[in-house]
Amino acid sequence: MLKIWSNERPWIISALLAIALAGLIFGHWWIAATVVLSGYIIWLYYRLHRLQKWVARGTKASEVYEDEGFIGTIIRPLYHQKKTYNKRKKRTKDILRRLHRNISALPDATVLMNDQLEIEWSNEPAKYLLGIDHRKDLGQRIGNLIRHPNFLRYLITPDSKKNIEIHSPMDSKISLHVKIVRFGRNQRLLTARNNSDQKQLQEGLKNFVANASHELKTPLTVISGYLEMLENDPEISEMGRKSVQAAYGQAERMKNLIRDLLLLSKVESYQLQTDEGDEVVIQEIMSNTMTAVNQTCNSGNIVCEIPQDLSILGIKSEIEGICINLVQNAIKYAGLEKPIKIKWKKNKEGEAVFSVKDQGPGIAADEIPLITERYYRGKQLTSGEPVMGSGLGLAIVKQASSKHGATLDIQSTVDKGSSFTVTFPSYRVIKSTQPSRRNVVDIRAAG
Ligand code: ADP
């Protein structure tokens, strides 16, 4: 306040001197005072008007002017603030321009959305991968431009999955790997990568494995047939028989591996529709399962509980694949010294639940998420000889389950045992005309 008046003081003193001088010369003090003060007020008004105009135009640094009086004390800090603001704005603009240039150069489509899922920014690849044009589509809701149901679901709950795969809305031959993350105030950042090449490579590899396995199947069956014949030949020496037995064992292992590879490639080929599949009678597939693992239900430590009238809609070989692999693993890893419980049931929700429980060595907690990956073999917790395997069994179980819309749950405690549960949705359960009788049925290994 003091500074304001000290700056204006020379003008006030000059005005008072002018009044005094005019009063002395003309002898009319009141008229002199009125004229000089009116002039001062008009001049003050003009300066205030100029200040108001400068402020209204945004205190532009280029239009700043000097005022020696108290108005100068208002102009100067405003001018400095504006200069600092301009510098910051320029720096932020430079950073944004560089960021924009860098993100635009990325081969991945990138889209920023606000909390209303409206597009706020997108780069050039978003145009040819997702059909989002940053010149036209800003402010549009992304759900109106990309209408893929999986994408819409993922957009609303991006935390439910790590990423999804969809076909590009611009070209259905392009497969996109889409990832959405939340940031700031419920805004979303979307990135989409073209992974068609990788997909093609994977497909090629899968086809090669499937074809090679198919080609190997027939000669191997012939070889193991001859080896089986030789093994039973009464004229063969004891040494020779042992060698033939070893060769037969290895041929059988290869046959199993090929069977698993073929089944896996078949299971992965497509997703079942909810009403797709044949009637699979659980009694029948469990009978085949026990034959495949060379065991008998309810003899020794294998306890089975299988309802007589349970049937589900699905692909028989694949449901059998689930059963064989889970039962085989329980026998392989837990052995037959302690009970293995095999059970099928229909739960309250009308779902069909298949479970295999053993009291074997269990699986370490950090390995549980990995054991369903193909070719993954766990640390062998069994004492003694390492257990043979290909690491494909649980991959088949997982793929076949998800193909049928079923879920796979694995519970395990080291040294206590493991429990594998596959739950088939109620729409897969075929309604039986007879009342459900959940009786324990003996299924004997055929042959
Ligand atoms: P493989 O049995 O050929 O190794 P799988 O995919 O069937 O392949 O199983 C993957 C891994 O999961 C196994 O290597 C094993 O470590 C673990 N595993 C599966 N079933 C059991 C089980 N019942 N008890 C303990 N470990 C198991």
- Residues 106-152 have pLDDT tens digits of 788 999 999 999 999 898 889 989 999 988 898 999 999 998 888 99
Neighbouring CB atoms inside 10 A of 59's CB total: 17
Instruction: Report whether 327 contacts 293 (CB < 8 A).
Output: yes
Distance between CA atoms of residues 135 and 138, nearest Å: 7
State the pLDDT confidence band at 1, using cuts at 50, 70 and 90. Answer: low
- Name the pairing type of β-strands 278-281 and 311-314: antiparallel
Distance between CA atoms of residues 11 and 276, nearest Å: 97
Whether residue 378 has its Cβ less than 6 Å from ligand 1 = yes
pTM of the predicted protein model = 0.60
Pull the structure tokens for residue 428: 């897969």
Ligand 1 atom with minimal separation from the 379 CA: 16
Pull the structure tokens for residue 161: 């999955």
Coil, strand, or helix at residue 210? helix
Ligand 1 atom with minimal separation from the 360 CA: 24
In the predicted structure, residue 104 carries a pLDDT above the cut 80: no
Residue nearest to atom 17 of ligand 1 (CA): 378
Whether residue 168 has its Cβ less than 6 Å from ligand 1 = no
Whether residue 393 has its Cβ less than 6 Å from ligand 1 = yes
Ligand 1 centre distance from Cα of residue 252 (Å): 19
Whether residue 358 has its Cβ less than 6 Å from ligand 1 = yes
Mean pLDDT of 206-221: 85
Neighbouring CB atoms inside 10 A of 176's CB total: 25
Instruction: Report whether 175 contacts 194 (CB < 8 A).
Output: yes
Coil, strand, or helix at residue 197? helix
State the maximum Cα–Cα separation within the chain, in Å, rounded to a whole number. 156
Express each pLDDT in 145-188 by its tens digit.
Answer: 998 888 999 999 898 888 898 999 998 888 899 999 998 888 99
Pull the structure tokens for residue 178: 């889409």
Pull the structure tokens for residue 216: 């190997």
pLDDT for 443: 42
Which stretches within 146-187 are classed as H helix? 149-156
Whether residue 391 has its Cβ less than 6 Å from ligand 1 = yes
**DSSP single-letter state for residue 195:** -
Closest residue by Cα to residue 112 from 164, 180, 15, 64: 180
